Amino acid sequence: MSVLRARPLLGTRVDISVEGLPESEANAAIDAAFAEIAEVHRLMSFHEPGSDVSRLNRIAAAEAITIDARTHAVIAFAQDLAAVSGGVFDISIGGHLVAWGYLPAPDAPAPDPAATWRDIVLESGNRVRFARPLWIDLGGIAKGYAVDRAVKAMALPADVQCVINAGGDLRVTGPRPERIALRVPGETLAKEAIPAIEIAGGSLASSSGSEHARVHQGLTVGPHLNGASRGGVSGGTASTTRFVSVTAAECMTADALTKVVMAAGVDAEPVLRRYGAAAYLYESGGWRILEHRSEEWEPVFGEGDVTKL
Amino acid sequence: MRSRFLLIPAAICAGTVAGGPAYGGAFYLNIEQAQQLLFPKASFEEDFHILTDDQIKAIQTDSDVSVTDRKVRLWKVSSGESFYIDQVIGLNSDVTYAVGVNSKGQVTGIEILECWEHYDQVRHPLWRAQFTGKKRGDTLDNGKEGIEKISGTTLSSVHITEGVRRILSTHAVLQGAKL
């Protein structure tokens, strides 16, 4: 018995499939997952004035505020990744994304151009304050976190196969591997080989620059900017032509790391290693595989029993 | 977690649903396969065009569909027909499809190369067959007399219909017709 349902959430379409449960139980589990994802969206939306993110952007520069434990956990992870990546991953870039037209300007004190992730201070009791006015955006991480939370909310037995896919950020649970074809924008025509990732009990997230690239003050910019240099601005536009998929145990990790690889390319390897993740990077017409060591992960070129799923 | 990266030869992948039922959709055909389905045994010569501003204007006026890509991916078929590859916006991402046009400017058939949707009924032979024989100026919309709109994949079915209309106008322009 297989149940597949979809719902528009998190600014994308979330698909959930469950195989190996009676229909009513599968539906109940999927209901719980959608409810949890909607909750994460409500907490972490940049757009909704009542979200934790909006409240922080409005108030946290003046005084510490208490937020939901889930938002706190996401910010804590973001800060860890910011430190590990030398600031390449930086959730304080909301002001830049607004300036480039990717996000609407919030009704909040103007951000200090010098503010970085170091100005975000996590205090005990789920409290957060900002050392300078800044705008955080969790768009590069909340989708993956929502998927992880949904998996928890479903609490499925180990022999039930399940895939939660939030617009390409997905997590697979259950005994079987799933095969996911990767769609590299602009590279779909006349390809001899289709790139795919097979994954069991783990997460996969992908990012591409070209689909979202736009021009700002004469420069090509993408929504994936390098927090350390505040570029993505790329005179070389590398980050607007790359495509990357990251595999990791948790979807939040995979989701966030795609942004680091988009910005840093092969230099992201030490960061991937730290989180036990691997990346598959497409640029200049070829694939590069980063941090992919175990023999179980050998790429398959050419023929094989690939028609079987 | 177990995972691996694969490069699957397109010839093997065609017809299988990559990614399994959860994500829906796939690369169904590559260009060569679509060419052989529409024009078996023929050979193909690439004849890509970049549309001029005037041509774009003429196509837009004639088809009432906006031209978003200046590049026309056209192959001349050894048997005298034309083979076009085009992309339109689907539910999640682009739908890539092929259109065959004969020397009278009539559609000989369409094939879906790539469509990332669970409800990919635009691939259904009967839906696609509605285009066969249509030419520029025929009713080619999703009204009563036109192409059936598919519930569940409305966007793709409407956009493919518009795309075919645009291609027929493009074909006429490239043949030198005054529109």
Interface membership of B94 toward A (CB under 8 Å) = yes
Tell me the pTM: 0.64
Q: Residue A57: which H helix or E strand, with range?
A: helix A52-59
Write the pLDDT tens digit of every residue in A172-225: 999 988 888 777 766 544 355 677 888 889 999 988 865 554 444 444 444 455
The verdict on ipTM greater than 0.85 is: no
Shortest Cα distance, chain B CAs vs residue A7, angstroms = 13
Window 177-196 of A, Cβ < 8 Å to B: 177-181, 183, 185, 188-196
Q: Do B131 and B44 meet the contact criterion of CB atoms below 8 Å apart? A: no
For B56-63, the CB contacts below 8 A with 24+ separation are: B58/B169, B58/B173, B58/B179, B59/B166, B59/B169, B59/B170, B59/B173, B59/B179, B61/B179, B62/B136, B62/B169, B62/B172, B62/B173, B62/B179, B63/B162, B63/B165, B63/B166, B63/B168, B63/B169, B63/B170
Which residues of chain B make contact with A181, given a CB cutoff of 8 A? 8, 13, 18-19, 26-27
What is the model's pLDDT at position B26? Answer: 67
Instruction: Return the SS3 of A167.
Output: coil
Q: Which residue has the higher pLDDT, B21 or A251?
A: A251
What is the model's pLDDT at position A8? Answer: 84
Total length of chain B: 179
For B69-73, the CB contacts below 8 A with 24+ separation are: B72/B48, B72/B170, B72/B174, B73/A189, B73/B48
Interface membership of B22 toward A (CB under 8 Å) = yes
Dump the DSSP string for A236-293.
Answer: S-HHHH-EEEEEESSHHHHHHHHHHHHHHGGGGHHHHHHTT-EEEEEETTEEEEES--
Shortest Cα distance, chain B CAs vs residue A107, angstroms = 31
Pairwise CB contact (< 8 Å): A15 & B30: no
Mean pLDDT on A99-122: 90
Instruction: Return the SS3 of B107.
Output: strand
Cβ neighbours, 10 Å, residue A113: 11
Q: Do A51 and A45 meet the contact criterion of CB atoms below 8 Å apart? A: yes
Residue of A nearest to B95 (CA): A188
Instruction: Please check the confidence at residue A116 and state whether its pLDDT lies above 50.
Output: yes
Window 46-85 of B, Cβ < 8 Å to A: 73, 85
Give, in order, the Cα–Cα distances in Å from B96 to each of A98, A188, B27, B43, B150: 33, 9, 9, 21, 17
Interface membership of A292 toward B (CB under 8 Å) = yes
Pairwise CB contact (< 8 Å): A299 & B3: no
Cβ neighbours, 10 Å, residue A219: 15
Q: Do A257 and A246 meet the contact criterion of CB atoms below 8 Å apart? A: yes
Residue of B nearest to A295 (CA): B4
Residue of A nearest to B19 (CA): A180
Residue of B nearest to A12 (CA): B92
User: pLDDT band at A134, cuts 50/70/90?
Assistant: very high
- Give the C-alpha separation, A50 to A203, whole Å: 30
Structural domains in chain A plus CATH codes: 52-130 (1.10.3980.10), 177-297 (3.10.520.10)
Q: So where are chain B's domains?
A: 30-174
Write the pLDDT tens digit of every residue in A241-278: 688 999 999 999 999 999 999 989 889 999 999 999 99
Which residues of chain A make contact with B24, given a CB cutoff of 8 A? 15
Write the pLDDT tens digit of every residue in A59-94: 999 999 999 999 999 999 999 999 999 999 999 988
- Give the C-alpha separation, A68 to B165, whole Å: 52
Which residues of chain B make contact with A290, given a CB cutoff of 8 A? none
Which among B22, B26, B91 has the least Cβ separation from residue A178? Answer: B22
Which residues of chain B make contact with A199, given a CB cutoff of 8 A? 1-3
What is the model's pLDDT at position B146? Answer: 80
Interface membership of A295 toward B (CB under 8 Å) = no
Which among B6, B17, B21 has the least Cβ separation from residue A17? Answer: B21
